[in-house]
Structure 1
Amino acid sequence: MDSTSFGELGWRKTLIEGFEHLGLDGHALLMDAGISSSSPEELTGGALSDGVGMAFELAIVRSGDPALGLKMARHPLKPLSVLSHVVLSAATAEQSLRVAVRYVPTFWPMVTMHAQTLPDRTLVILGMVPGKRPVPPACFDFFVTMLISGYRIVTGQRAKLLKLHYPGQKPANPQPWLDAFGCEVEFGAQQCMVEVCASSVRRRIPTANPAIFELSERIAEQASKRQFGVTSSRVRTEIVKCLGKGEPRREAIAAQLGMSERTLCRRLSDENTNFVAVLDALRREMAETYMQQGDFNPTEITYALGFSDPSNFYRACKRWFGSTPNALRQSGLSLAPKPVSAPSAARSAIQRIARGMGLGKDHSERGADDRVLHQRRKSDGDRRLSPDPRRPKPDAS
């Protein structure tokens, strides 16, 4: 299953069907909110949160129903494909919840979800990746009712909620919210947090099947990687978006990816890398591209790569290439790159940034074997240049 179809199943289809159940044009709402047909790369982080929030705001205006978000969670497992098999075959609601926390970014890239277990209750914290617009309360209405409905389908029982901390202000008529959540509601809270009784979390799932759980979880993990690429690739793409604004921060990148900083570190560690290594490799590749093109001076490249001071870029060049930026630019495009990972999604992002900075139409490409840099430049007309393997490398002394 490709990433587009997974995106459709994960969130587009659910929103469209939910809006249409209430007599609204779901496709038109998503189109007007700017999230109807964008590519998966463009639908990450805060921009997607803003689009989903706008879709709910438009839906409330067109329907005249401020409680609209409470009425859309009709079939919460239907669009989740293999993930529905994972949660249904888990042994307990607690195991099912852990699975949901791990894989929610696969199907809802704008949502953050965390769980904390206490002796008498479990705290489920729902949020959205920060964007430029405030999150409308209708989004929390929708996601909390999705959680409640999903629990009822998986366990066959209604979850015993002790309290809901609700970020929205208390409405003129709070009864629809009290009826939907079935517990005490603290309006105007700092975050959306559901307190679930421990007995509900420990409840066994009637359809539990260890063999199916193991198999379907493995498929869900593979689907997650196909959806977004490996974590390091996703990190590279997000870094490219913010490099021009200064030094990328790990916690900020984690937030853009809809996960905690700790989760990001763990997933990168699973891929035998870390945030600093991913950032360093990406900067090195972009430095090669900019210096090979020859249109920018070292100071301009310094800030394009997010370094705070040119001296930091000079030291990085000595470490990467064994020479200073000025010496490299004068060496006739004879960089000898070390083998580095360059996923296609990240290379595409680099090319988009380069085009935006006026680097021309043609950019570097790395072969799968030797990763040798090819560069097209203007010199007596367009001609293809490639480093001569017999040419000596820059002096590292």
Structure 2
Amino acid sequence: MARAAGLDPLEMLREVGIDPDCLNDPDLKVPSEAIGQLLENSAERSGWQDFGVRLAESRAFLVLGPLAFLVREQGNVRTSLQLLSRYMHLHNESLQLWLEEEGQQARLCFDHVGRSSPTRQSLGLSITVVYRFLKQALPEGWEPERVCFMNEAPRDLRNIRRVFSGRASYKEAINGIVFKRKDLERPLSTSSQLGRYAHDYVQALSAGAPQTTTAQVRHLILAALGNGHCSLDAIATQLGMDERTVRRHLDREATSFNALMREVRHELAVRYLVGPPRSRNELAMLLGFGAPQSFTRWFRGEFGVPVAGWASDGDA
């Protein structure tokens, strides 16, 4: 991709601190922050604002390794996407996925947590890889309702329209794929009855690289904020613990549920405010506040300025 865009791939790697020797070892992990910056630099210098989407076209779903086998071996879309969300940390520790169901609609949401560099290209890459998997695994002709991106549309949309069959939508409230809820029950054509073996294998890998309670709670807060069900009690239930046990684990890791909630809200608030314009009502809902007034009070206390003041300062 870099060469096709007139770039020197090895020099681009060195520039962000990645040893080019990593290209010879597909199992070697490299910093996601550096990869994200590499993609952003490549998009900027090539002039291809859809660089991440283009790159995804050359990447088979099996690039996810053992996780890909587990996901494609499930009996239906719901189980497949739930396991993809649960075990994504084995492939990319900064990328978080979660499945939302509301009314007749389902949404697979994507986000990068703890990243200071821009994420437009890496999110475009990840969303396109999963979109292409669903297209392969579901009956011919299946399409989601929308493929959503929070950023503005690229200047040249020809490639985007081709890849997503005209379903891409920009300046959206989420990064992700929106489809009919009933699609979650559809069987996968990729299943070959190896699901149990794949599940056991990925579980063994996950056990060898355990996530901290802090990481798990952050992930669940992120997934639950916009649904209005983000409480310590609800998250403890999902972790199979009681509230006291979760508090004790977080205390050992020098944090707390309230501190993590504040961190996640802070990160998301900044991301939403630098994206497409949103009303106070929408921001309050996305950040898990019951009323716009509660969001307004929290924002002033967190950033020291009202929402309008933050936007005029251009910094948080």
The TM-score bracket by the shorter chain reads 0.5 to 0.7
Alignment pair present for 1:57 and 2:40: yes
Task: Please state if 1:214 is matched with 2:196.
Answer: yes
Aligned to 1:224: 206
Partner residue, 1:126: 110
1:123-178 superposed Cα distances (whole Å, 9 cap, x missing partner): 1111111422343x322321221111112333363541212332111332323222
Residue in structure 1 matched with residue 170 of structure 2 by the alignment: 187
Q: Which residue of the partner structure matches residue 74 of structure 2?
A: 90
Does the 8 A contact of 2:62 with 2:68 survive in 1? yes
- DSSP 3-state at the match of 1:157: coil
Work out whether residues 111 and 128 of structure 1, in 8 Å CA contact, stay in contact via their aligned partners in 2.
yes
Change (3 A) 1:222 1:59: same
Check whether the contact 2:70–2:195 (CA below 8 A) recurs between aligned residues: yes
| Residues 129 and 258 in structure 1, CA contact (< 8 A), matched pair in contact too | no
CA change 1:115–1:65 in 2 (3 A) is same
**Quick one: which amino acid aligns to residue 115 of structure 1?**
L
Deviation (angstroms), 1:24:
5.3
Bigger-Rg structure (1/2) = 1
Deviation of the 1:102 alpha carbon: 1.1
Q: Determine if contact 2:127/2:176 at 8 Å carries over to the other structure.
A: no
Q: C-alpha offsets along residues 27-66 of structure 1, whole Å, 9 cap, x if unaligned?
A: 54344223557xx9994xxxx3x43331111112343322
Aligned equivalents of 1:258, 1:81: Cα separation in 2: 26
Unaligned runs of 5+ in 1: 1-17, 239-249, 284-304, 307-397
Q: Secondary structure of the residue that 2:75 maps to in structure 1? A: coil
CA RMSD, 1 decimal = 3.8
- 1:248-273 CA-to-partner distances (Å, cap 9, x unmatched) read xx96xx15998767797467546998
Q: Secondary structure at the match of 2:109?
A: strand
Alignment partners' CA distance in 2, 1:172 and 1:106: 34
Distance 2:4 2:60 in 1: 13
Is there any run of 5+ residues in structure 2 with no aligned partner, and where?
23-27, 225-229, 257-316
Give the superposition deviation at 1:223. 0.7
Secondary structure at the counterpart of residue 107 of structure 2: strand
User: Equivalent residue for 1:274?
Assistant: 245
Q: What's the CA shift for 1:112?
A: 1.3
The amino acid of 1:153's aligned partner reads Q
Residue equivalent to 2:157: 174
User: In the alignment, is the contact (CA less than 8 A) between 1:164 and 1:183 conserved in 2?
Assistant: no
In the alignment, residue 77 of structure 1 is paired with which amino acid?
Answer: F
Cα deviations across residues 57-92 of structure 1 (Å, max 9, x unaligned)?
A: 111234332222121122332222222221222111
- 8 Å contact from structure 2 (residues 2, 9) kept in 1: yes
Query: Between Structure 1 and Structure 2, how many residues are aligned?
Result: 241
Kindly indicate whether the alpha-carbon contact (under 8 Å) linking 1:161 and 1:182 is maintained by their aligned counterparts in 2.
no
TM-score (norm: length of structure 1): 0.51
Q: Give the 5 Å matches for 1:294-309.
A: none
Rate the CA distance shift 1:198–1:280 in 2: closer, same or farther, 3 A.
Answer: closer
Q: Bigger CA drift: 59-68 or 271-280?
A: 271-280
TM-score by length of 2: 0.62
Question: Per the alignment, do residues 259 and 163 of structure 1 end up closer, same or farther by CA in structure 2, a change over 3 Å counting?
Answer: closer
Distance in 2 separating the partners of 1:179 and 1:169 = 18
Name the CA distance, whole Å, in 2 between partners of 1:65 and 1:128. Answer: 22
Change (3 A) 1:275 1:181: same
Aligned to 1:167, the other structure's residue is in SS state coil
1:77 aligns with 2:48: no
Task: Return closer, same or farther for 1:270/1:94 CA change in 2, 3 Å cut-off.
Answer: same
Q: What amino acid maps onto 2:187 in structure 1? A: R
Which residue in 1 is equivalent to 2:125?
142
Matched with 2:300 is: none
Q: How does 1:1-397 map to 2 (within 5 A)?
A: 26=9, 28-36=11-19, 43=31, 48=32, 50-73=33-56, 74-135=58-119, 137-155=120-138, 157=140, 159-198=142-181, 200-210=183-193, 212-226=194-208, 228-232=209-213, 235=214, 254=218, 265=236, 269=240, 274-281=245-252
Local SS of the residue matching 2:145: strand
Query: Structure 2: how far apart are the matches of 1:164 and 1:81?
Result: 24
Take 1:166 and 1:19, find their aligned partners in 2: how far apart are those partners? 23
Shift of 1:94: 2.2
